[in-house]
């Protein structure tokens, strides 16, 4: 399998705090990678650097073997790497379908689509199909700020997927969502992601959720990756259990090894 994302010696410091320390990561096409780590371990810093939001202090980032260092988020998005946010980044005063329509017109890229009306029948049909995929059709015409948190997280991810990215970075897709809703939400997301054949990296605090969906786990601890491998090996790692999970993790919860 070929590498889609690679970081070489990626480092970021905030004053005396080292948020990322010499990160060397290789992610292959089609992988579903879970990122775990306590708050402040450097997970979001990693995503922010890779997507161009935060300039690294050192190192290089290669997406599809080309450096994306110094590119703006919009340029990285156009190369095929999209992200969602820990706190859903939406257009709160617009309706859910308008959020989707604007994502579509942006992805169409932008001229001459920009000159035509936003809400054409073709674009609306496309936007409705996207909302259907994510199960948020009931909120189609609701003002986005009024819909429940879970639906907003889904809209956020839907907007990231509209540009047909080859890689998707999900920053805590289930944060702020009740425990019972977490699995259904992830099931919905992963079903769409599999349909699109996207490589996924997602940050998650709930170990059962992580173990359920990923093919690989990276454990962050104070800016470093202390374990990287199959869910079984990482979650069974004594150091990870001590520093990241904080308790013994029962590997039986993972079920049979694949």
Partner 1 sequence: MNITNRLKSTEVTVSALAALLAAGAFLMPAWLSFLLTLALAKALVVLGVVLQMRAGLVSFGQALFYCIGGYGVGLGAQSLGIADAFALLALGTAAAVLLALICGFLLTRYREIFFAMLTLALSMILYGVLVKSSALGSTDGFNVAPPSFLGWVPEGDARKQAVYLLTVVIAAAAVIGFNRYLKSGLGRVMEAIRENEIRVDYLGLSPRRLLFANYVFAAAISALGGGLTAIASGHIDPDMAFWATSGEFVFIAILGGTGHVAAPFIGAIVFSVIRTFAIQEAPHTWQMALGLVLIALILFLPKGLWSLVSRKHTKAGNTPAAKEATA
Binding site for partner 1 (CB under 8 A): 51, 53, 72-74, 77-78, 82-83, 89-95, 98, 101-103, 105-110, 113-121, 141, 159-160, 162-163
**Of 11, 2, 29, 86, which Cα lies nearest the Cα of 216?**
29
Residue position matching structure tokens 């080859």: 166
CB of 109 to partner 1, least distance (A): 7
CB of 42 to partner 1, least distance (A): 20
Range 15-28 burial, b when 16+ CB lie within 10 A, else e: eeebbbbebebebe
DSSP three-state, residue 160: helix
Between residues 118 and 245, which has the closer beta carbon with respect to partner 1?
118
Residue 41 tokens, joined: 């371990």
82 φ/ψ sector (left φ>0, alpha ψ -120 to 50, else beta) = beta
Q: Distance between CA atoms of 90 and 235, rounded to whole angstroms?
A: 34
Identify the DSSP state of 244.
I
CB of 256 to partner 1, least distance (A): 39
Residue 28 tokens, joined: 């292959």
Between residues 6 and 171, which has the closer beta carbon with respect to partner 1?
171
CB of 203 to partner 1, least distance (A): 16
CB of 173 to partner 1, least distance (A): 15
3 φ/ψ sector (left φ>0, alpha ψ -120 to 50, else beta) = beta
Between residues 112 and 246, which has the closer beta carbon with respect to partner 1?
112
Between residues 57 and 120, which has the closer beta carbon with respect to partner 1?
120
């Amino acid at each position: 399998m070929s590498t889609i994302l690679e970081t070489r010696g990626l480092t970021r410091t905030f004053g005396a705090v080292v948020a990322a320390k010499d990160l060397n990561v290789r992610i292959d096409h089609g992988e579903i990678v879970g990122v775990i780590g306590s708050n402040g371990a450097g997970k979001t810093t990693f995503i922010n650097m890779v997507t161009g939001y935060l300039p690294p202090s050192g190192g290089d980032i290669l997406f599809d073997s080309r450096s994306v260092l110094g590119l703006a988020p919009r340029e990285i998005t156009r190369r095929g790497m999209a992200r969602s946010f820990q706190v859903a980044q939406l257009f709160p005063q617009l309706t859910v379908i308008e959020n989707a329509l604007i994502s579509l017109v942006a992805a169409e890229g932008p001229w001459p689509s920009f000159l035509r009306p936003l809400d054409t029948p073709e674009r609306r049909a496309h936007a409705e199909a996207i909302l259907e995929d994510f199960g948020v059709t009931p909120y189609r015409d609701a003002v986005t700020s009024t819909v429940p948190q879970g639906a907003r997280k889904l809209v956020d991810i839907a907007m990231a997927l509209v540009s047909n990215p080859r890689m998707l970075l999900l920053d805590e897709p289930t944060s702020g969502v009740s425990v019972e809703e977490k699995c259904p939400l992830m099931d919905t997301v992963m079903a769409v992601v599999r349909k699109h054949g996207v490589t996924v990296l997602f940050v998650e605090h709930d170990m059962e959720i992580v173990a359920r969906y990923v093919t690989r786990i990276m454990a962050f601890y104070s800016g470093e990756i202390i374990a990287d491998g199959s869910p079984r090996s990482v979650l069974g790692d004594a150091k990870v259990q001590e520093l990241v999970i904080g308790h013994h993790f029962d590997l039986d919860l993972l079920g049979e090894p694949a």
